[in-house]
Amino acid sequence: MAKNVLTRQTPLTLAGRGGGKMCWLNTGSAMNIILKIFILMVAAVGTAHAVVLFEATMTTSQEPVLVGPTTAAGAPRATPFGTASFVLNDAMNALSFTATVFNIDFTGTQTADVNDNLLNAHIHGGPLTPPTFTTRAVVWGFFGTPFNDINSPGAGLSPASDCTPFATGVGGTCAGTWDASEGNGGQTLISQLPFLLSNQDYINFHTVQNPGGEIRGQIVRVPEPGSLALVGCALGGIYLVTRRKAATLSV
Ligand SMILES: [Ca+2]
Ligand SMILES: [Ca+2]
């Protein structure tokens, strides 16, 4: 019994007026708390959804070759930009996405100038494409050509489209799902998974002025819910242990 007491408690000397004061830090209780935190962390991993989340921030600066952006007359026009979010489901056979883009003309009538008109929009992936080795092939298109969201309600539109223009302003939103067997150039979602999961794919919006791409964003993984739960548990555990130590020392 005495041995257990010695291993569970650690003596500390507190300096102060009137000499040192001995107290006991109950490290056994602290270890119990840490053990409970570890169990919570394991449970968090076990119950977390297995979906994989991605996001992309689209800018002109990520395009390897960019012209302008200017109007057809050569005057500067508003710099386009956008964001996109992606969810790869548990079975890893469907990638759903939403994107919001500003300052690209989704209808051809949002501005009078033609240079900002949306031409195509795709996900690019697979190995880097020579000779520049800065671009990748189109692996799934969701506006214009190629259009690979074959079960989309917008597949029959002209141009085929997963996108909706803003009611006011210049730009719009897009939403669709890349299903397992869909793809372009012999690629499918399944064949692209190694590239997607290693942050090698990107989303690209092409315009009349920049048919090679006007805004582009790397599709990168975001922390999974389980990871966020682990961080929360760890921070909570540190707080509890600190509070416990402070309470013990104040006795
Ligand atoms: Ca326009
Ligand atoms: Ca689809």
CATH number at residue 135: 2.60.40
Task: Write out the DSSP string of 71-122.
Answer: -TTS-B-PPPEEEEEEEE-TTSSEEEEEEEEESSBSSS-SSS-STTBEEEEE
Q: How far is the CA of 99 from the centre of ligand 1 (A)?
A: 20
Structure tokens at 187: 């690629």
Name the burial class of residue 72, with classes exposed (0-12), middle (13-18) and buried (19+) by CB atoms within 10 angstroms of its CB: middle
Please check whether residues 26 and 88 belong to one and the same domain: no
Please check whether residues 142 and 178 belong to one and the same domain: yes
For ligand 2, an ion, list residues with CB under 5 A.
Answer: 149, 151, 177, 179
Please check whether residues 210 and 230 belong to one and the same domain: no
Spell out the per-residue pLDDT of the chain, length 251, in tens: 444 444 445 444 434 333 444 434 454 555 565 556 555 554 555 455 589 999 999 999 999 999 999 999 999 999 999 999 999 999 999 999 999 999 999 999 999 999 999 999 999 999 999 988 899 999 999 999 999 999 999 999 999 999 999 999 999 999 999 999 999 999 999 999 999 999 999 999 999 999 999 999 999 999 866 555 555 555 555 555 555 555 555 55
Query: How many domains, the chain?
Result: 2
Q: How far is the CA of 148 from the centre of ligand 2 (A)?
A: 7
Question: Is the overall model pTM greater than 0.85, yes or no?
Answer: no
Please check whether residues 93 and 188 belong to one and the same domain: yes
Q: How far is the CA of 105 from the centre of ligand 1 (A)?
A: 5
22 lies in which domain range?
A: 2-47+226-249
Please check whether residues 97 and 127 belong to one and the same domain: yes
- Which residues contact residue 247 at a Cβ distance below 8 angstroms, ignoring those fewer than 6 apart? none
What DSSP character marks residue 211?
T
Please check whether residues 117 and 219 belong to one and the same domain: yes
3 state DSSP class of 185: coil
Please count the other Cβ atoms lying within 10 Å of the Cβ belonging to residue 250: 8
Please check whether residues 215 and 234 belong to one and the same domain: no
Please check whether residues 98 and 187 belong to one and the same domain: yes
Please check whether residues 230 and 137 belong to one and the same domain: no
